[in-house]
């Protein structure tokens, strides 16, 4: 990378615009150049546009001051109410490149869901000034963008990302004990979070709650029992194909669009058939009784539970996976039914029999999300559940991004979007001054053509570049 000056004449005056340029070698040994960072105008006349953009924060000072910058090889003219600073453009340095784009996109969507305000009111700063709400926001961003252990977040990821720049915090936000302690503050707000999210799904996406999908998953732990009797880590049916490991079972309720309404962490040996009744009751207590439709895998409801759902007031409808044995008995009858188009790439057959309607579906676009819970490296059960809580929050951001893509950029996955945005970096531009200080410009790189198109398609506007800073004058040794 190198510094480039573009000179333009306007109204008889010469204007010089500076930018950082990168050379790239393409096919056929051809070298092309692209603008990475735009630094703006530095000229002898110090026009008002440049003066406004150089409100500088001196290191250690809360108030900004206006500084007029001049290259060292040009004479400075008097500028009212401005400190004159000469910079050595030939000694410019680029330092600390870090991932910015995916972090910014996460923070934007986190704000859209009102999660920053929700947690600011429930996780007040500690006596030492620790912003627990921002610690949680960092944990969620890490879980969505590049999941790993809290130790890795502390040692590597935080400093290699621009989360500190976006949140206005330093490395203390990712201190290892701070990350662990934050988990201890979360579970008490679980029910309130579910209520908050329900309102957001309705207000932002016009979500309906008359159809609910209920499913179970599990996650295992590479740790050795015995554990206390009340611990939920148990051996059980492993959906991860790891029957040698203890696990917990997670029940999740979502709308057909995938908007999550709530979840529960259950003991690893919990039978699927024992979970539905309690979830059904919790949904009715939180959202009231309604004629909802529950979608479930086979093995979750018992015949007794299904009968109870039929006889409830109002009746609760359901779509449940048919046991394989019964499906075999219906094979010949289903063969005589024609396929119907339910939606693009999804066909169905409908067979009415004995007050039930059997649905046979085939899909060419079956999906799995790439949102993962593992790895879970906590030892305390409360922190294990809090870790799953953080994963649930990240999943909420994931789902809302997916819905935005579905509406504005169909065909692009959330993971592809995050990967594309992660290519935008933030770089510190250090401009030494003639008096021994440094002007520091933290700048995110200019988006590539495909990133610009994506931002336009998603109707997203990038924020202003951060304000420049200048280091304090060096004190002379006595």
Could you tell me if 312 and 436 lie in one domain? no
- Tell me: do 173 and 300 sit in the same domain: no
**Residue 458: other Cβ atoms inside 10 A:** 16
Q: What is the dihedral of CA 429, 433, 436, 441, to 10 degrees?
A: -20
Q: Are residues 314 and 197 in the same domain?
A: yes
* Residue 48: per-residue pLDDT: 39
206 located within any domain: yes
Could you tell me if residue 52 is inside a domain?
yes
**For the domain that residue 293 is a member of, what is the CATH number?**
3.30.420
pLDDT for position 310: 78
Cβ neighbours of residue 374 closer than 8 Å, sequence gap 6 or more: 219
Strand pairing report for 211-221 and 246-254:
antiparallel
Q: Taking a C-beta distance cutoff of 8 angstroms, is the pair 102, 422 a contact?
A: yes
Looking at the fold, whether 198 and 280 belong to one and the same domain comes out as yes
DSSP 181-238: HHHTTTGGGHHHHHHHHHHHHHHHH----SEEEEEEEEEEE--PPP--TT---B----
Domain that holds residue 147: 102-182+379-423
Nearest to 101 by CA among 403, 431, 458: 458
Do residues 200 and 270 share a domain?
A: yes
Phi-psi region of 110 (alpha: psi -120 to 50; beta: other; left: phi over 0): alpha
Distance CA 252, CA 369 (A): 14
Residues 266 and 328 in one domain: no
Nearest residue to 436 (alpha-carbon basis) of 472, 469, 410, 386:
472
Q: How many CB atoms lie within 10 A of CB 464?
A: 7
Cα(55)–Cα(51) distance, rounded to whole angstroms?
A: 7
pLDDT of residue 47: 39
Q: Note whether 315 and 341 are same-domain residues.
A: no
User: What's the Cα-to-Cα distance from 465 to each of 29, 87, 223, rounded to whole Å?
Assistant: 34, 20, 46
Provide CB contacts within 8 A for 13, sequence distance 6+: 43, 45
Nearest residue to 89 (alpha-carbon basis) of 70, 66, 65, 68: 70
Task: Name the phi and psi angles at 380, rounded to 5.
Answer: -85, 135
Kindly state whether residues 252 and 210 are assigned to the same domain: yes
Asked if residue 22 is part of any domain, the answer here is: no
In a domain, 302, yes or no: yes
Do 209 and 261 meet the contact criterion of CB atoms below 8 Å apart? yes
CA distance 456 to 139: 28
Nearest residue to 372 (alpha-carbon basis) of 352, 387, 357: 387
Query: Same structural domain for residues 197 and 316?
Result: yes
How many other CB atoms are there within 10 angstroms of residue 6's CB atom? Answer: 11
331 and 315 inside one domain: no
Q: How far apart are CA 139 and CA 453, in angstroms?
A: 29
| 306 and 340 belong to one structural domain | no
Whether residue 476 is contained in a domain is answered as no
pTM of the model: 0.78
Instruction: Cis check for the bond before 244: say yes or no (omega within 30 of 0).
Output: no
226 domain-assigned: yes
Question: Is 26 a member of any domain?
Answer: no
For residue 314, whether the previous peptide bond is cis, meaning omega lies within 30 degrees of 0, is yes
Cβ(247)–Cβ(221) below 8 Å: yes
DSSP 433: B
Reduced to 3 states (helix: H, G, I; strand: E, B; else coil), residue 37 is strand
Per-residue pLDDT of the chain (478 residues; tens, 9 = 90+): 556 677 777 777 777 776 767 676 666 677 777 666 666 655 444 333 333 334 555 555 556 555 556 555 555 555 556 666 777 767 878 889 999 999 999 999 999 999 999 999 999 999 999 999 999 999 999 999 999 999 999 999 999 999 999 999 999 999 999 999 999 999 999 999 999 999 999 999 998 888 788 888 888 887 777 888 889 999 998 888 888 889 999 988 888 888 999 899 989 998 877 777 777 777 777 666 666 777 777 677 777 887 887 778 777 777 787 777 777 788 888 888 888 888 777 888 888 887 778 888 877 654 475 556 766 777 788 999 999 999 999 999 999 999 999 999 988 999 999 999 999 999 998 888 888 888 888 889 889 889 999 999 999 999 988 877 877 766 655 4
Q: Tell which of 423, 442, 458 closes a domain.
A: 423
Q: Same structural domain for residues 61 and 86?
A: yes
Closest CA to 369 of 404, 394, 343: 394
Q: Which of 217, 253, 252, 254 is nearest to 236 (CA)?
A: 217
Could you give phi then psi for residue 291, rounded to 5 degrees? -85, 75
Residue 9 located in a structural domain: no
**CB contact set of 60 (below 8 Å; sequence gap of 6+):** 472
For residue 106, the surrounding DSSP H or E stretch is: helix 101-112
Torsion from C-alpha of 158, 169, 150, 382, nearest 10 degrees: -160
Count of domains for the chain: 4
Contact 214, 253 (CB under 8 A): yes
């Amino acid at each position: 990378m190198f510094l480039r000056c573009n000179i333009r004449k306007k109204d008889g005056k010469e204007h010089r615009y500076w930018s950082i340029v990168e050379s790239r070698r393409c096919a056929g040994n051809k070298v092309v150049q692209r603008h990475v960072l735009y630094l703006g105008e530095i000229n002898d006349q110090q026009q008002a546009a440049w003066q406004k953009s150089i409100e500088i924060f001196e290191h250690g000072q809360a108030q900004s001051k206006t500084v007029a910058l001049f290259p060292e090889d040009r004479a400075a003219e008097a500028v009212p109410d401005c400190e004159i600073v000469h910079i050595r453009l030939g000694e410019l340095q680029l330092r600390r490149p870090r991932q910015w784009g995916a972090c910014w996109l996460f923070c934007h969507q986190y704000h859209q869901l009102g999660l920053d305000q929700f947690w600011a009111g429930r996780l007040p700063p500690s006596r030492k000034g620790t912003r627990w709400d921002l610690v949680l926001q960092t944990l969620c961003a890490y879980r969505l963008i590049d999941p790993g252990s809290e130790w890795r977040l502390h040692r590597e990821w935080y400093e290699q990302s621009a989360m500190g720049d976006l949140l206005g915090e330093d490395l203390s936000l990712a201190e290892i004990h701070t990350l662990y302690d934050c988990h201890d503050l979360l579970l008490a707000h679980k029910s309130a979070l579910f209520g908050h999210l329900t309102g957001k799904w309705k207000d932002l996406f016009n979500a309906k709650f008359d159809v609910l999908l209920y499913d179970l998953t599990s996650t295992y732990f590479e740790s050795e029992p015995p554990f206390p009797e009340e611990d939920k880590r148990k051996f059980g049916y492993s959906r991860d194909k790891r029957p040698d490991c203890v696990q917990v079972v997670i029940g999740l309720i979502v709308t057909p669009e995938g908007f999550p309404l709530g979840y529960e962490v259950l003991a690893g040996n919990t039978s699927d058939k024992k979970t539905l009744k309690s979830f059904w009751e919790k949904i009715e207590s939180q959202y009231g009784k309604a004629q909802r439709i529950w979608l479930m895998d086979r093995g979750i409801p018992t015949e007794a539970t299904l009968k109870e759902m039929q006889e409830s007031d109002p009746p609760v409808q359901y779509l449940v996976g048919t046991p394989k044995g019964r499906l075999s008995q219906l094979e010949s009858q289903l063969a005589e039914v024609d396929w119907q188009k339910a939606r693009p790439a999804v066909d169905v057959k409908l067979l009415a029999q004995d007050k039930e309607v059997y649905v046979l579906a085939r899909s060419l676009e079956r999906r799995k999300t790439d949102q993962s819970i593992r790895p879970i490296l906590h030892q305390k059960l409360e922190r294990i559940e809090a870790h799953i809580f953080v994963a649930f929050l990240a999943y909420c951001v994931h789902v809302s991004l997916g819905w935005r893509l579905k509406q504005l950029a169909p065909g692009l996955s959330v993971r592809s979007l995050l990967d594309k945005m992660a290519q935008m970096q933030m770089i510190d531009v250090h401009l030494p001054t003639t008096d021994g200080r440094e002007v520091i410009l933290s700048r995110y790189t200019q988006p590539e053509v495909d990133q610009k198109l994506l931002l336009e398609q998603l109707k997203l506007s990038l924020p202003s570049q951060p304000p420049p800073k200048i280091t304090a004058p060096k004190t002379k040794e006595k």
